[in-house]
């Protein structure tokens, strides 16, 4: 059976291409984030201990999500260039190679992750009272980590082929299933925070099964031959994948590692401060979904045009993504400044928690436009096959700027100082990204 043709982004309106991918990608990311939002909403009804536990767990979950997301970035970068070059055989083999590599990574990461739960969270400042809830959630979550990796890669592979709508439909189905199972397992079965994790794993298993059924049916005309080829050359294909995935992982994990550091600093100011940050960070993630969707969508557009040697179109896609990021960031600055307290109150009626969340949502949104510029530049470097540039920019943002500034500012201005340091780091790093991103692209392609 011939494989299904992929969408072509080398002709027509660049704006339309970005929107055709970004809008379904927004739904996909909303669906992924809804797993955490649903957990937060229902567990806030269980009690402060459960809400605090999930707030401590969130940065660690995000850390491993970024590993899965980096594999998805590598999938989109590699496969989109082969699609642009018209090499469907390599596309099929790489789909098989990603699946094999994920299984190997899971067998290494899962036991390591379970082993590190207690020492890591104690280092973050989790009290003995909160630790059993954290442990119950994270044990189940790590068992299902393979399906998270498969989900990120599968969604990016479908988007690289232009099937963003189908990817979004499957993500929505998984989201709805999680929303149905979570209250059932948390309240009816009385499993509490462990039930929340079980619901998420079951929903991901079902969603991932549907994702790969679509991929095999449409883009792998001979799955057995593809897997045999991928396994016989596993070392070579894994090296090609990891050459992009590892720098992308290093880039992506800087954010969660900084969040872990941030939670560690906030823990000194009490559980209510950590819980307030937990609520605000979830609201923030929902607010910047369009930026994440755009950064994921610009990769196949730039990648296909680079593969077809349409360098000016690739550059135009980058410039369009910058403009959209600026507009959306400014809009969210205004919206969250005035509505942050109200939205935070939907998750908790504790005045101290709401005060911390509101403070965060008044300060950080001012830097969302800058954060968006940094995302688009990193996505462009991944499309160009230069992920180390993305890593360098993220290291500067988090290790060179945020961690030292947050430590100094927290000493004088407590939680408010930490939040100001985060926003200032976004501003400074985005200026560097703008200069480096545009100059590198022009020197390599537009004026080459």
| Rounded CA separation 66/68 (Å) | 5
DSSP character at residue 364: G
Helix locations, 86-144, DSSP H: 88-115, 117-124, 131-143
Q: Which two tokens stand for residue 219?
A: 């883009």
Q: Identify the pLDDT of residue 1.
A: 44
CA Rg value for the chain:
21
- Burial environment of residue 337 by CB neighbours within 10 A (0 to 12, 13 to 18, 19 or more): middle
| Rounded CA separation 190/27 (Å) | 31
Contact 378, 295 (CB under 8 A): yes
User: pTM of the prediction?
Assistant: 0.69
CA neighbours within 13 Å on the CB side: how many for 123?
9
Q: Which of 301, 260, 290, 440 is nearest to 383 (CA)?
A: 301
Contact 352, 272 (CB under 8 A): yes
Q: Identify the pLDDT of residue 437.
A: 81
Q: Identify the pLDDT of residue 373.
A: 92
Q: Which two tokens stand for residue 25?
A: 């990608």
Q: Is the dihedral of CA 74, 76, 77, 82 positive or negative?
A: positive
Q: Identify the pLDDT of residue 175.
A: 82
Consecutive 10-residue averages of pLDDT for the chain (448 residues): 58 82 74 69 81 83 85 85 78 92 95 93 87 94 95 87 81 85 91 92 94 88 91 92 83 75 85 85 85 84 80 85 92 92 85 90 93 89 78 86 91 89 92 85 66
Contact 388, 373 (CB under 8 A): no
| Rounded CA separation 141/199 (Å) | 10
CA neighbours within 13 Å on the CB side: how many for 314?
31
First to last CA, the chain: 41
CA neighbours within 13 Å on the CB side: how many for 70?
26
Q: Identify the pLDDT of residue 167.
A: 81
Find all residues with CB under 8 Å of 277, minimum gap 6, and list them. 55, 262, 263, 266, 356, 357, 360, 415
């Amino acid at each position: 059976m011939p494989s299904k043709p992929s969408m072509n982004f080398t002709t027509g309106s660049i704006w339309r291409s970005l929107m055709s991918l970004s809008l379904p990608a927004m739904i996909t990311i909303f669906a992924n984030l809804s797993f955490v939002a649903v957990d937060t909403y229902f567990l806030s009804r269980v009690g402060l201990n459960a809400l605090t536990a999930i707030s401590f767990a969130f940065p660690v979950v995000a850390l491993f999500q970024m590993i899965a997301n980096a594999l998805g970035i590598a999938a989109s970068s590699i496969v989109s260039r082969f699609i642009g070059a018209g090499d469907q055989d390599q596309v099929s083999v790489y789909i098989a190679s990603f699946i094999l590599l994920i299984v190997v990574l899971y067998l290494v990461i899962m036991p390591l992750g379970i082993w590190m739960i207690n020492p890591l969270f104690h280092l973050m400042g989790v009290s003995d009272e909160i630790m059993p809830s954290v442990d119950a959630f994270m044990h189940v979550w790590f068992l299902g980590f393979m399906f998270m990796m498969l989900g990120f890669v599968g969604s990016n592979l479908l988007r690289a082929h232009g099937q963003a709508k189908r990817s979004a439909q499957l993500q929505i189905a998984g989201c709805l299933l999680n929303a149905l199972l979570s209250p059932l397992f948390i309240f009816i079965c009385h499993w509490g925070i462990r039930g929340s994790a079980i619901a998420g794993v079951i929903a991901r298993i079902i969603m991932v099964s549907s994702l790969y059924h679509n991929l095999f049916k449409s883009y792998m005309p001979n799955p057995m031959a593809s897997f045999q080829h991928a396994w016989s050359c596993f070392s070579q294909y894994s090296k090609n994948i990891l050459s992009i995935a590892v720098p992308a992982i290093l880039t992506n994990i800087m954010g969660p590692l900084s969040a872990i550091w941030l939670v560690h600093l906030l823990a000194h100011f009490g559980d209510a401060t950590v819980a307030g940050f937990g609520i605000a960070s979830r609201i923030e993630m929902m607010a910047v979904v369009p930026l994440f969707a755009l950064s994921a969508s610009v990769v196949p557009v730039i990648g296909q045009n680079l593969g077809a040697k349409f360098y000016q179109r690739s550059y135009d896609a980058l410039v369009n993504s910058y403009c959209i990021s600026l507009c959306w960031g400014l809009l969210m600055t205004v919206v969250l400044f005035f509505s942050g307290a109200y939205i935070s109150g939907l998750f908790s009626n504790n005045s101290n928690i709401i005060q911390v969340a509101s403070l965060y949502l008044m300060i950080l949104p001012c830097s969302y436009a800058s954060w968006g510029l940094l995302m688009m530049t990193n996505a462009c470097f991944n499309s160009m096959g230069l992920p180390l540039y993305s890593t360098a920019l993220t290291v500067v943002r988090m290790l060179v700027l945020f961690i030292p500034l947050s430590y100094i500012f927290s000493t004088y201005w407590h939680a408010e100082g930490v939040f100001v340091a985060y926003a200032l780091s976004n501003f400074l790093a985005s200026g560097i990204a703008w200069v480096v991103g545009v100059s590198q692209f022009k020197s390599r392609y537009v004026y080459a």
